[in-house]
Amino acid sequence: MSAYLPTTPRFLNSRRNSIHLAAVGSSSSSRSRIPSSYSFLLRPLASSSSSDEAPNYFPDFCPLLRMEVLRSSYNQLFRATHILLLFTISTNFFAEKGFMTKASLEKNKGLVENLCQYGVIKSKKVAEMMETIDRGLFVPYGSQPYSDSPMPIGYNATISAPHMHATCLELLKDHLKPGMRALDVGSGTGYLTACFAMMVGPDGHAIGVEHIPELGAASIKNIKRSAAEPLMRGGSLSVHVADGRLGWPELAPYDTIHVGAAASEVPKALLDQLKPGGRIVIPVGNFFQELKVIDKNPDGSVATRTDASVRYVPLTSRSAQLHEL
Ligand code: SAH
């Protein structure tokens, strides 16, 4: 009998080895160790065998037992795969529908707390806004929404890093009061457009202008999953597919103009569409870029200062942007 043991498949555990031995020995005491689920395997074998025949039928029995073991392993694997699949589908579904889990809300909160701790967020207003508009709803599924870095969103564009969103909101917050008008040029994912809309409220206007139609459509979806959805439904928040270098004259003049892509020089149309007392925040430059803060004085003159060195994607034509793909 021990001569057969080396033929026992390695994956059989000791409990299953005991089934082998019981089958060969076919004594009542060893049989009683056989789990009932295996007993059907043994009955026909036991009845058609004698002790002399034992060495002959054992090899026949092995494939049956192996099959049973394999079948139960496959069943377990099958069940585990199903559970995993269901989990993935439901996670995708909830992420698609914008139901953020408690964990993701906590992570967004953690990100905002870090930005406050490092002094990037300086005001309660901006902290509240970035907590309310969850970044996780605006990044492509599968990327890391809560790490402080820009992320690719396709079409040679990126969602800006959280610290840049926070910096721009801090620079613009006094020009984003309820009832004011905000223009977001190169709105990309729509994250800042949604924040602007929340700050100016239902009596104000927030306009996003994006020149890649697919990004414009995706940003509308993102906004609809966020806390800014009622404002979009109410008409005070909208996204348009157009060349943002021309601004959006229909609703000009604006209290705030934010540009999310680097221009080689400040487009004149944007300066023209800025209200006296209003502010533009725009990255300017090609390889070396600076974030410029431009204030229009009541007499129409402008004052410009540099806030920081930055790195943004270029404010360009649609074909030039897509050509780089
Ligand atoms: N604030 C955005 C930044 C997106 S990246 C965010 O965080 O999601 C800059 C965006 O500007 C890209 O989506 C790009 O497609 C867009 N863009 C570049 N040139 C443009 C132009 N001339 N008109 C409108 N959008 C432009």
H helices of 202-317, in order, are 213-225, 229-234, 268-272
Separation CA 103–CA 140 (nearest Å): 18
318: tokens are 């649609």
From ligand 1's centre to the CA of 318, what distance in Å? Answer: 10
Q: What is the pLDDT of residue 190?
A: 98
Q: Are strands 302-310 and 289-296 parallel, antiparallel or unpaired?
A: antiparallel
Q: Which of 14-18, 179-183, 259-263 has the lowest mean pLDDT?
A: 14-18
56-65, 138-147, 265-274 — most confident range: 265-274
pLDDT tens, residue by residue, 97-139: 455 567 888 899 999 999 999 999 999 999 999 999 999 999 9
Separation CA 19–CA 68 (nearest Å): 12
CB-CB contact of 210 with 239 (8 Å)? yes
Mean pLDDT score, 79-85: 69
Q: Which of 40, 44, 45 is nearest to 56 (CA)?
A: 45
The better pLDDT of the pair 36, 184 is held by: 184
Provide residues with CB under 6 Å of ligand 1. Answer: 155, 157-160, 185-189, 191-192, 209-212, 215, 243-245, 260-261, 313, 315-316, 321
Q: DSSP letter string over 245-256?
A: GG--GGG-SEEE
Q: What is the pLDDT of residue 31?
A: 41
The closest-lying atom of ligand 1 relative to the alpha carbon of residue 212 is 15
The closest-lying atom of ligand 1 relative to the alpha carbon of residue 192 is 1
pLDDT tens, residue by residue, 272-295: 999 999 999 999 999 999 999 999
pLDDT tens, residue by residue, 149-183: 999 999 999 999 999 999 999 999 999 999 999 99
Q: With 80 as the cut, is the pLDDT of residue 41 above it?
A: no
Nearest CA to ligand 1 atom 17: 186
Sorted by sequence, the CB contacts under 8 Å of residue 169 that are 6+ apart come out as: 126, 129, 130, 176, 192, 195
Q: With 90 as the cut, is the pLDDT of residue 196 above it?
A: yes
User: Can you state the angle between helices 124-132 and 191-200, rounded to 10 degrees?
Assistant: 120
| Band (73; pLDDT cuts 50, 70, 90) | confident
